[in-house]
Amino acid sequence: MLVLLFMLSLLAAPVEYVAHEGGHYLAARLFGADATLHFDRVTLDRGARLSDTERLLFLAAGPAIDGIVGVTGLLLLVQRYTPLRLVLAIWLARPLQFLPPLLGVDLPLFALAGGLADTDEGQIATTLGLSPRAFIWAELALAAPLLALIVLRLPATRRLAILSVLSIGVMAGWAGWLAWGPLVLP
C-alpha cells in the first residue's frame, strides 16, 4: 500500500501542474484568446485580449481546478482512505507553498513580496483592489481545517508513515517536474 502511495505521490505534482495550467489555458481559449501552455504557466499570445472579468476568470481557473479536485478527493477520503483519494485530496495543499514567503515578510527581501503578488491569487487580489497578502492568508485559513481533516481521516496507526511517504513522493515529483517539465511543455 505504501509503495502504491509513493508512486501516486510522485505523479501528484506533474499531474497537478498540467491540470492547473490546463485550467488557465482552457479559460483563455474559451474567451477566444490565443495562449501557450508551458510546464509552469500559461502565456497569452501577442494580440490576445481579455476583458477585466475574463482576466479574473482566467486567473482563477487554475486554482479552481486544484480546489475542485481537492474537495472531491477529500469527500471520498472522508468515506474511506485509499492512496488515490489521499493524493487527490492534497491538491487542497496548494496555498501551503505560499507560507514561507508569507512568514518571511519581516525580511527585507523584495523578491518574496513580489513573488506573492505574482501568484494567481496575488494577481486576483490586486485586480479586486485587495491586499495579496491578506487574500492569500484567507486562502490558507480556508485550507487549514480541510488539511487537518485529511490528516485526521488517515488510519491512525499508519498516519506518520503515510504522511512521510506522501511528503517525500510529492516533493520528489515536484522537483522532477521542475527539472523535466520544460522538456515536455517548454
Site for Zn ion in 32-51 (CB under 5 A): none
Angle between helices 2-30 and 52-79 (to 10 degrees): 160
- Number of residue whose CB is nearest Zn ion: 62
Q: Is 121 in the site for Zn ion (CB under 5 A)?
A: no
**How far is the C-alpha of 74 from the C-alpha of 76, rounded, in Å?**
5
Residues binding Zn ion: number (CB under 5 A): 2
State which residue, 125 or 165, has the beta carbon closest to Zn ion.
Answer: 125
Residue 67 binding Zn ion, by CB under 5 A = no
Compute the distance between CA of residue 34 and CA of residue 17 in angstroms, rounded to an integer: 20
Angle 42-68-182 from CA coordinates, rounded to 5°: 30
Contact 72, 38 (CB under 8 A): no
Shortest distance (Å) from residue 62 CB to Zn ion? 3
Nearer to Zn ion, 38 or 159 (CB): 38
Q: How far is the CB of 59 from Zn ion (least distance, A)?
A: 7
Q: Is 62 in the site for Zn ion (CB under 5 A)?
A: yes
Query: Which residue in 66, 120, 121, 139 binds Zn ion (CB under 5 A)?
Result: 120
- Asked if residue 173 lies in contact with residue 7, where contact means CB atoms within 8 angstroms, the answer is no
**Coil vs helix vs strand at 43:** strand
Task: Point out which residues bind Zn ion (CB under 5 A).
Answer: 62, 120
